[in-house]
């Protein structure tokens, strides 16, 4: 079953390679979507794919990279859309 989640990750997640690590993680799980920095210092990401792959990505978001410090993860499920390959937004 295809699922779609939007995730907001807060903490020390900008300037530590979080977006590119998220892209690598998502692509390794065959997920579609995007990741971007937000002005408030958080990182937001949208993923779409098989449920188990989405759950693995969400679990990865809770720990992040070796240089990040994840304080909070907010998850919202949405209706699947027409997402393409996973990209880093600027």
Q: Which residues are known catalytic residues?
A: 19, 37
How far, in Å, CA of 49 to CA of 72, rounded? 23
Residue 66 Cα to chain centre, angstroms: 16
How far, in Å, CA of 81 to CA of 48, rounded? 8
């Amino acid at each position: 079953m295809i699922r779609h989640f939007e995730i907001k990750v807060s903490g020390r997640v900008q300037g530590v390679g979080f977006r590119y690590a998220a892209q690598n993680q998502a692509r390794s799980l065959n997920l579609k979507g995007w990741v971007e920095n937000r002005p408030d210092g958080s990182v937001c990401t949208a993923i779409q794919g098989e449920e188990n792959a989405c759950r693995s990505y969400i679990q990865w978001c809770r720990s992040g990279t070796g240089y990040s410090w994840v304080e909070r993860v907010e998850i919202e499920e949405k209706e699947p859309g027409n997402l393409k390959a996973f990209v880093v937004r600027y």
